[in-house]
Structure 1
């Protein structure tokens, strides 16, 4: 609606990627934890079902009441092509430098988190 399709998709991808990296680092850095008892309690199942049902009901209500045809008739140019052209022409060097910095950070995290080999 605001002609910001690229920003919307980029924001979703960055947040999903950030959560994924957080989970991967959490797994990599906690591999030395053994014998941790995991307790499961079923006391919260009832309230969880009620809250989940309320959220799903709200979402379905919003989906059914939205005028989808009005949204689909909006015409816009889109910003993806313009941003892509600028990124691959004017800002190619900063883009490549950022990718190398991220690669080095990822390799550093792997080296820090890896297990030491036991010599036998």
Structure 2
């Protein structure tokens, strides 16, 4: 076993362990931070396998954008920071489903490749991958950016306290400006 093999095994263990902590944590913010660790370990695995560009994309897109968006959504919607009773569920159904999916994927991989050793293709360069991403895959890339932006705007709109006051006053027939000045003629 080489040092690279030991490093990949250690990073895989960190990714699996922190992924298990993501789904078993009762603290929403801690689950988000465990997700950062898991995605960072995955970036380390990509780097160890020689896919430097994919590792940096993993760090920038997932760790830098998606997890930050998740934490901002938690903060802006005033979700509970401490332990939540909604997240306190038994872990055994997740273990059974995850184990079943893992065994199923292992059986499919063994059946597909029949223990044949294939030569890996030469790693692509960044220029070719960038041309492919922004040439053929530009539409899904832009749709994903619009989806993330709309989720952030939705979280901001839901977190504004004055929206609820306006809706309540409109249902009662009074303008929100008049809600606190019922007896004044100013």
Query: TM-score when scaled to structure 2?
Result: 0.34
Please, what TM-score do these two structures have when normalized by structure 1? 0.49
Higher RCO (CA 8 Å, separation ≥ 6 residues): 1
